[in-house]
Amino acid sequence: MRLSKKSEYGLRAMIELTRSFGRGVVQRRFLSEQQGIPLGFLEIILLQLKNSGLVGSRRGKNGGVFLLKPPREITLGKIIRTLDGPLAPIGCVSQTAYRKCEDCPYGETATCPIQKVMLDVRNAIASVLDHYSLEDFANPSGKKAKNSPV
C-alpha cells in the first residue's frame, strides 16, 4: 500500500486539528501554513473530511475548521478510507467496498489463491491503521494513550 499525498496531508491536517481540539476553530490558512499544505488542496481534503462527519466548519470572519469527534474516536484507518478509499489491495477482499472480480478465473470458485493472501494483507493494514487514533499522535512519547479505547 502506498499512502497518497491527499492522505498524508489529511493526516497532518487532522493532527494539527487535534492540537486545537476543544479550543475553538482553526483557520484554513493557518492550517495550510503550519503543515505546508497548498491551500487549494487542503480545501478539497477538508471538504471530504467534512462530508464524512469528521470535521466541522464555521464561516465568517472568525470561521475555521474543527474536529467533530474527540481525537480518541478518530482512527487513522477512518481518515485514510475517507480520503483514499478502501484499504484492500483488491476489491474482492474489501470490507467497505467489496467488488467481485469479473475477469478472474477464480471468481466463480470457492477458493482463490490470490484472495487468501490479499485478505491477510488487508487485515494487517487495517489492524494497524484502525489501532491508532489521533489522540495517540497528540501524545509526544508516541505511545498509545492509557485510556484510549482503540
∠ CA 92-97-100 to the nearest 5 degrees? Answer: 30
Residue at 103 is within a domain:
yes
Task: Provide the pLDDT for residue 96.
Answer: 75
Residue at 13 is within a domain:
yes
Structural domain count of the chain = 2
With bands split at pLDDT 50, 70 and 90, how would you rate the model's confidence at 139?
low
Unique residue bearing C-alpha cell 484502525:
130
Tell me the three cell numbers of residue 4.
497518497
Q: Determine the 3-state secondary structure of 26 from DSSP.
A: strand
Residues 54 and 82 in one domain: no
Residue at 147 is within a domain:
no
Instruction: State pLDDT tens for residues 80-121.
Output: 999 998 888 777 777 777 777 777 777 666 677 888 888 888
Task: Provide the pLDDT for residue 148.
Answer: 40
Q: Is 9:129 a contact under the CB 8 Å cutoff?
A: no
Residue at 148 is within a domain:
no
Single pTM value for the model? 0.82
Domain ranges, residue 40:
5-67
Percent of the chain with pLDDT over 70: 88
Residues 107 and 120 in one domain: yes
Q: Tell me how far CA of residue 119 lies from CA of 26, 46, 51, 91, in angstroms.
A: 39, 30, 28, 10
Residue at 132 is within a domain:
yes
| pLDDT greater than 80 at residue 32 | yes
Task: Provide the pLDDT for residue 70.
Answer: 96
Task: Provide the pLDDT for residue 141.
Answer: 57
